Amino acid sequence: MSLRLFFGVLLLLLLLGLGLYIKQYYAAPDFSTHMLHYYKSTTTKVHALDLNRPLLLVFAASWCGTCREELLNMNRYTTLDSTSVLVLSDENWTKINRLKQLAPRLQYGKTIEPFSKLKIHAIPCAYIIGPGGQWIKKHEGEILWNDPSTRNYFYTLLNLQCP
């Protein structure tokens, strides 16, 4: 085997391995096969997501300034409420309640697993989950809720009337 062929095969294997490594950070969680469970409060049992309707699932943290700004704007500029949005954090309830103070109309929960196990590697991160649990759209970074075209786009994906 020639040295050139050896290094070519080695390079190909390295690129393949790198591709698989990167894919794990950009793959969406498989909501259809392992339903995401969460705690609704410190006193209630674990619940599975109600996936009979479209849902905007937002992963956020109290220490994330962009997350706080997004929730504040979502509360200010949209008519989205707890029937169409679930904000999840892997923090403790004291910190989750700080988020809830910014946007009290939304539903909040605590994930059982840390974000890294759920393949959430950047926040804020939002998924639009369709009926049946399939994910329709993933959005990493802040959603500009003060932009009417952005609101219209997300309302359309959620099958809601834009006000």
Quickly list DSSP for 54-109: -EEEEE--TT-HHHHHHHHHHHHH----TTTEEEEESS-HHHHHHHHHH-TTSEEE
Q: Taking the domains of the chain in order of start, what are their residue ranges?
A: 1-28, 31-157
The amino acid at 96 = I
Please tell me the predicted confidence (pLDDT) of residue 18: 54
- pLDDT digits over 21-53, tens only? 544 444 445 443 344 556 665 555 445 565 677
31-157: CATH topology is Glutaredoxin (3.40.30)
More confident site: 18 or 84: 84
| pLDDT value, residue 129 | 80
Over the stretch 89-106, which tens digit does the pLDDT of each residue have? 989 889 999 999 989 888
